[in-house]
Structure 1
Amino acid sequence: MLGNAAFAKGVEGLERITQTLVAPPYLPEHEQAVTGAPKVVQVKMVMEEKEIEIDKGVFIHAFTFNGSVPGPIIVVHENDYVELTLVNSAESTLKHNIDFHAATGALGGGALTVVKPGEEVVLRFKAIKAGVFVYHCAPGGVMIPWHVVHGMNGAIMVLPRDGLKDKAGKQIKYNKAFYIGEQDYYIPKDEKGVYKRYKKPINSFKDDMKVMKTLTPTHVVFNGVKGALTGSNGLKAAVGDTVLIIHEQANRQSFPHLIGGHGDYVWERGNFSDAPMTNLESWVIGAGSAGAAIYTFKQPGLYVYLSHNLIEAILLGAVAHINVSGEWNNDLMEQLKKPSPIK
């Protein structure tokens, strides 16, 4: 058994790199396959409490990692070490921590990362499982779901060192990637049915709990607010692009479907060590997990990526747009007759 001193010396001998995290729906710069020894990947996240408008006239005090809902995605490779500096902003009113579903032991790191406002902690863990995983705040008791449904969750992707592969062992490469965090909110209403707004995060706690216990969200959105990825905020791709879509949901199931496309390769529960499923019309993201899908776009136009609980998608907000440029292929689809009166 390797002693702690020998282990520490071994880790200190590894190359250290700093990963600059970026706001969703994008991923930090990364290689898809690597050679050589594992690295120590240094990242920093600041936990910030901020009021955001999730829909017109609807506000929540969001609990965030790096100011976004979801928090930024971290990308490493199997057997790399993640070294996280976790800061709780001095302006925060609550203690926070982080539980990595990708980590082993100590409640996913949650037991070692509890920090009060104005404090910071450094956690290092070895990413021994390849896949995409959720992380979230888990300060204990009822505060766990309350913090999660206030936006305090995100994802980490642990790529196999030799990259993604199909069931025959052939490498699968993507040239574009999007990261979608699905968020369920439970916003209280007053006696007139108007959504309530609160001066401080803790002021909504009792009212929030009443709505949360119904298990019925008032909003289900992609990337923090309704419309974050639709219309002029839509994502962009081109015919021929092979796109990786990471989808995380820290609290409920989701049912992704790409209208006009498919899941060419799907790791429904994010487990990259297993062969992907292929050619799916829709798939399931389990509660408290992340999944991945790859699709190569073949036609231009508007694609709608949504949860195929259509009530949640259309009425509550779980929808994104992908605008694809390129030349139309009549062999795949052609309108033979335009709409006209029946003769």
Structure 2
Amino acid sequence: MITRRAALMGAAMVAASPYIIKTATAEELMDTSTAAPVDLTHMTRRKVKLVAPPFVHPHEQVATVEPQIIEFEMKIIEKEMQVDDDAWIQAMTFNGSVPGPLMVVHEGDYVELTLFNPPENMMQHNIDFHAATGALGGGSLTLVNPGEKAVLRFKATRPGVFVYHCAPGGPMIPWHVVSGMSGAIMVLPRDGLKDHLGRPVSYDRVYYIGESDFYIPRGEDGAFLRFADAGEGYSDMLAVMNGLIPSHVVFNGRVGALTGDKALTADQGETVLFIHSQANRDSRPHLIGGHGDLVWESGKFNNLPERDLETWFIRGGSAGAALYTFLQPGVYAYVNHNLIEAVNLGATAHVIVGGDWNNDLMEQVVAPVEYNVLHEGRTALP
């Protein structure tokens, strides 16, 4: 049965793109009308303006007030985005960025999100918070057609970093996710982060790196195809998706998004918290030239962090956190240590660190120079 909500989409669009317009079924919608109301009138409210990754909106690392209702707004934007010099995707995004913004609250706070789906969009969308309890992570309470909005509130009960993503149902779920619709939320302990011994730790900077796998089809000539809208490319993209071999694996939406003049920065002696999410595939972050001093590999702050990791593992559908204090200046490469994906497919970021070199940690004793092959090097082998 076609509902009034589906009819709002327009008969012409439904006829032209039957796989795009999907009326929500009863199984997907959660009826909460008979639930007992919750009185939160005693709580203070705070509005937060989200910012595009890799940056994060201002926040306290240790809560200084009682739990609050934290108000966020996000707009779903469907638009073409360039993934590489020769590749474009009809992206679906939260707030126009891939990944969507990192949201930060404290344990015990209420997250209140107003989600807008503008009338110019073609698709039905929603949001599934892995940090939330019930109703498919909020997905069955936020299913919005173009021109609609929904307001969702949930209590942040588990400290950690968690993925959120669009999950409108059936084959639309993976398609929307690998078209850019994922992000992360960080729920900080009220008393802040702790090390393996329970001692407080803090960070000077925080960066959010969202890893995406894209499945852009190629034409008969081998060039990447470019489509007028998402619907036009659905069938071709689905064929590539079902092969499970991505055309691109990138950080923050495109090849080189976090390199060159867009590289991350830090100063020698600063402690940086890296938040890394991957909504669909496993990843293996590695900081070339550095380490994970403290790593919450599963992203959950009730668990003790691991120490001194060279590479850590982010399960598909999750987010992790790593803390590192930069001890040397220079350029560090933050990569997915599947090096094929890092070098050939795009999963590389750079961190430029200023400061003074410390020869005690590393010294170039002899610069590269030719050697006498007749008399030198023989003792190197067993």
Deviation at 1:36, TM superposition (A): 3.6
Q: Which residue is equivalent to 1:325? A: 354
Larger Rg: 2
Superposition deviation, residue 8 in structure 1: 2.4
Distance 1:29 1:213 in 2: 40
SS at match of 1:226: coil
1:102-251, aligned counterparts within 5 Å? 102-251=131-280
Q: For residues 198-241 of structure 1, what are the alpha-carbon distances to aligned partners after superposition, in whole Å with 9 as ceiling and x for unaligned?
A: 11111111111110011100000000011000112111101000
The equivalent of 1:12 in structure 2 is 41
Alpha-carbon distance in 1 for matches of 2:43, 2:303: 28
Q: Residues 199 and 4 from structure 1, CA distance in 2 versus in 1: closer, same or farther, beyond 3 angstroms? A: closer
Corresponding residue number in structure 1 for 2:119: 90
Please report the RMSD computed on the Cα atoms of aligned residues, expressed in angstroms: 1.0
Separation in structure 2 between the aligned mates of residue 167 and residue 266 of structure 1, nearest angstrom: 10
Partner of 1:72: 101
Q: How far apart, in 1, do the equivalents of 2:229 and 2:154 lie?
A: 34
Per-residue CA deviations over 1:157-187 (Å, capped at 9, x if unaligned) read: 0000000001211001001010000000000
**2:159 is aligned with what amino acid?**
A
Residue among 309, 323, 328 paired with 1:294: 323
Amino acid at match of 2:284: F
After TM superposition, give the deviation of residue 35 of structure 1 in Å: 3.5
Cα separation, 1, equivalents of 2:276 and 2:263: 16
**Taking structure 1 as reference, are residues 232 and 35 closer, same or farther at Cα in structure 2, changes over 3 Å only?**
closer
Secondary structure at 1:95 match in 2: coil
1:37 shift after superposition: 1.8
Question: What pairs with 1:44-83 in structure 2 (closer than 5 Å)?
Answer: 44-83=73-112
> Closer, same or farther in 2 for the Cα pair 1:63/1:39, shift >3 Å?
same
Secondary structure, aligned partner of 1:225 = coil
Q: Which amino acid aligns with 2:78?
A: E
The reply to whether residue 271 of structure 1 matches residue 303 of structure 2 is no
> What letter corresponds to residue 256 of structure 2 in structure 1?
G
Question: What is the rounded CA distance, in whole Å, between the counterparts of 1:145 and 1:307 in structure 2?
Answer: 21
The number of residues matched between the two structures is 339
CA offset at residue 245 of structure 1? 0.2
State the AA in 2 paired with 1:171: P
Look up the match of 2:61.
Answer: 32
Q: Which runs of 4+ in 1 moved over 3 A?
A: none
Helix, strand or coil at the partner of 1:8? coil
Cα distance in 2, alignment partners of residues 246 and 128 from structure 1? 19
* 1:21 corresponding residue in structure 2: 50
Task: Give the structure-1-normalised TM-score.
Answer: 0.97
C-alpha separation in 1, matches of 2:35 and 2:121: 35
* CA deviations over 1:272-324 (Å, ceiling 9, x no partner): 01110000000000000000000000000000000000000000000000000
Answering whether residue 362 of structure 2 is matched by residue 337 of structure 1, we say no
Q: What percentage of residue pairs aligned between the two structures are identical?
A: 58
Where does the alignment leave 5 or more consecutive residues of structure 2 unmatched? 1-33, 373-382
- Once residues 92 and 154 of structure 1 are traced to their aligned partners in structure 2, the CA distance between those partners, rounded to angstroms, is 20
TM-score (normalised: structure 2): 0.88
The CA distance in 1 between the partners of 2:285 and 2:113, in whole Å, is: 30
Q: Distance in 2 between matches of 1:32 and 1:44?
A: 22
SS at structure 1 position matched to 2:369: coil
Structure 2 CA distance for aligned equivalents of residues 331 and 97 of structure 1? 53
Equivalent-residue separation in structure 2 for 1:19 and 1:36 (angstroms):
16
